Chains A and B, each alone.
Chain A
Amino acid sequence: MRRIRIPNYLIVGLLLLLGGVAGFFSVHFGQPPPQERTLTITAHQYAYDPPILRVNRGDRVTIRLVAEDVTHGFYLEGYDLDAKVRPENPTFWVRHPSQGDEFEEVEEISFVANRTGKFRYRCSNTCGYMHPFMQGELIVSPNYLYPSSIGMSLGLLVGMLWIFRRTPPGGRS
């Protein structure tokens, strides 16, 4: 019987896919029920405190913003939120960038974390030299992309080592 030789790219592609799918499902099940989360974020040159927020999909997140030194911004990517907060001010100004430039004064902002993944919140108000690098992270679990990427990397490693075995060497030793 004639043996069928599977092309190299198919092996690598399949293992890549398999790794990605395995990574995806490793975090897909067993998610906790949604919760209410109220957080106070303090902005100061050139970071936020806490620097990383971890929530779960479906959580209602309420954020109060405080500026410690100068006026800072809070642009949360993926959630259409942009805020400005001044020092010694219990309120701050928020807008939805997709809806225009109008800011409204609020005491807190609230949204449902319905998009999963890692999102940065960045200062949107020039606050000093290092302003472009002032940012924090909102991680909404399950962060599918991360375990999927780990799975794909491992799949790629296994796939490439597999096809390397099938390629004859040509060296001297």
Chain B
Amino acid sequence: MPDVEMKPADVKPVKETEEKKEESKPAPLSPLAEIKSNVVLIDRAVTTLEPRFTHRVLRTLTALRKRIDNSVLRNAVESLYPKDHSIKKTLLAWLPTGPSSSDQAMDVDSSARPSHHELVPEAEIYLRLLILYHLLASEDTQEKALELANQTAEKMQAINRRSMDAIAAKIWYAVDRAYELAGELSDARPMFLAAQRTASLRHDDEAQAALINCLLRSYINYNLYDQADKLVSKTTFPPSASNSQFSRYHYYLGRIRAVQLNYTEAHTNLQQAIRRAPPAKTAPGFYQEVHKYFVVVELLMGDIPDRSLFRHVVLEKALNAYFEIVKAVRTGSLAQFQSTLSKHAAQFEEDHTYTLIIRLRQNVIKTGIRRLSLSYSRISLRDICVKLHLDSEEDAEYIVGKAIRDGVIEGRIVHEKGWMECGTQKNAYGPEVSEVFGRRIAFCLDLHNQSVKAMRYPLNAHRKELAAAEGAREREKELAKEIQDGDLDDEDLGPDF
């Protein structure tokens, strides 16, 4: 299941930069041209030490990935490297030979060759990344992909350049994917752990974020929540990581916390995952998956999810089974809950939410008791037992007692008479309101401050302004001088008139 679910997660076409849009508006670039321009950008990024360009290239990765095929990749490699270059040979070895590629390549080759010099290793890794994604896309080349992934990871570690970090993070993700498709995810763990250590020592935030997520995914895939939790507590997720990585991290964290019954934290994490995730339409799989957990966790917290959630275009179908569970919990009917549970058990198991949903049983009972306490001021234990389909009056007494202790309802049990007296609801308005208000205000203010901090200014722009100011002052001086001189001039002019 996680294969399908997470796949769209990396499909995070973060909004393209303005420039990019302008570029693609008049005539959408052919994939080949785009790869070439990307290589140029990477080159510029390395030579000017400006990681911004690399990020721009990586942003187009998802869109580009869908458009490449064998011949595009061949042509790109052919044209970017001179004829007998060793890298060219190794790269081409990964691509199956296509019939049409050779003559096409020739044309492009001749036109492009004069312009290029020795390419930076980052460009090679980028091309490897593209090939890797391409190999991963179809089923028969997955074995090859795994091989290439291993080789690329080794190569990357051998080259060891900081300017490669951003691309390296993507490579790690692809490596993870290759292992997963090969069904050997647990074998990759030692390698990831070692790479994660190295990345954190080098303050390589991007790779660190990617690797932590890969590891969490691997642990959770094998249901090793204990170890996943230990990993989370022993590492710090780099705060500068990209939104998509953060979104994934929050999702995994939410799942871990939900299993540990820490629903409040699970809820915040899943909410963060939803907020940071790309729009629902671009990554529907991830969106649905997170919402499944979100709904269950919300139910476990004793809340009822918003109904509009289930009408969302992307979610409506996927969450159908969950909607029925919500209905059962809301009415507090154990019988309905049990029948819905058994009806959709297969789906819940596939979603890995089954064990969480089983825990809802107590919530159903609690909701039932709460409804009774609201509608009756006094009700006998026997009636509670009948209405909630409990097994015995004795059980009913314990269950009501527990509900009172847990603060689900206000009331008392009068044992001698065998009934429950329900107290009045507490007034909801108290000091905690100001606390909540304060928390929200603090969030808004923090958001404001963060966005002020996050604003980017062009480098050395203030110099220009300074120069302009300097010039203005100079002119002013001149003007003043002229005026002074002008006084004289007036006198000089006098005789002319």
Q: Do A and B come from one complex?
A: no
